[in-house]
Amino acid sequence: MTVHHIEPEEGFVHFDFSADREPVLTVDSGDTVVVRTLDAAGFLAPTGGPERPPRLKEDANGHALCGPIAVRGARPGQTLEVELHEIRPARWAFTGVGIQSAKALGIDDESPFYIHWDIDADAGVATDRGGHRVKLGPFMGVMGMPPAEPGAHATAPPRFCGGNLDCKELVAGTSLFLPVSVAEALFSIGDGHAAQGDGEVSTMAIECPMERVEFVLRLHDEPVLTMPRARTTDAWLTFGVDEDLDEAVRIATNQMLDLMQAQLGVGRQEALVLASVVVDIRVTQVVNGVVGAHAVLRDDAIQRA
């Protein structure tokens, strides 16, 4: 097993997805990658002062992503597993209000509003300047590959091949499974979140740089996926993304029925009946244009009599 390192320097960070972009690193399946990431905006210093700090790329319009990382031999139709070992946030972060989200909730004030956080990764807490303290649950908002279509693609919407999923359950100790969309995978990662609620209703989580993100990339021929899937310490997650939340729920549910049929050896109708009893449907995020839902099946939810 080889360990590779990426620092968030010019040439190793990009702000859109593209199948035409040259990889900054090529790894073998099973290799470990360690990255340090900037926050989603690409700030080079803590926010919070009267002036905005410098960014890695001042005119960037997208998430600051490390990569892309090529996985030798990866081809469309395979599955890329991202096994997350460690996600350690840096000491500062911020959360703001998106204007469109505010308007949707009847808030007409368009003046900028931000909360600035001090993060204690060892204690597992973030404290804002008003004295509010929250428990950390660090994860990466964006993990994914470009679609096969040529040209640049925005980082904001999640896709079948991953991207801006913004799922707070993808913490260290979990694995994310993504359909490989292009040759060599071209995987990228960024958008560190120290904590987030389901929905991410203001458009921002606790947005932070990450001191260290360690993960293993593995290729699998099975299962053949059409949407992301994840394995936590005690559950399976299946995802759905669409411009319509109802459709995203339908996709996530159908993905879960596929999984239950394969694991339990039951028919479609029986899987649906069991899912109605034991599967939780959750809103992943509702602020990225393409919204997300995920279905959760706990390991202890169904037992053989």
Report the pLDDT averaged over residues 164-184. 98
Q: Reply yes or no: is the peptide bond before residue 68 cis, omega within 30 of 0.
A: yes
| The pair of three-digit structure tokens given for residue 290, joined into one six-digit string | 């393409």
- Maximum distance among all Cα pairs of the chain, rounded to whole angstroms: 64
Answer yes or no: are the C-beta atoms of 281 and 293 closer than 8 Å: yes
Which residues does residue 140 pair with via DSSP β-bridges, in sequence order? 192
- In Å, what is the CA distance from 64 to each residue of 21, 28, 33, 52? 15, 24, 17, 17
Q: Which distant-in-sequence residues (6+ apart) come within 8 Å of 7 by Cβ?
A: 35, 36
Which residues does residue 210 pair with via DSSP β-bridges, in sequence order? 37, 89
Domains plus CATH for the chain? 3-220 (2.60.120.580), 234-298 (3.10.28.20)
- What pLDDT shows up at residue 104? 82
Total residue count of the chain as it appears in this document = 305
- In Å, what is the CA distance from 296 to each residue of 95, 226, 229, 249, 300? 27, 17, 10, 12, 12
Rounded to an integer, what distance in angstroms lies between the CA atom of residue 249 and that of residue 166? 16
pLDDT tens per residue, range 63-105:
999 999 999 999 999 999 999 999 999 999 999 988 788 888 8
Report the pLDDT averaged over residues 243-270. 98
Helix-helix angle 245-264:268-278, to 10 degrees: 110
Helix H or strand E encompassing 6: strand 3-6
pLDDT tens per residue, range 186-242:
999 999 999 999 999 999 999 999 999 999 999 999 999 999 999 999 999 999 999
pTM to 2 decimal places: 0.96
Indicate if the pLDDT at residue 109 is higher than 90.
Answer: no
pLDDT class for 117, splitting at 50, 70, 90? very high
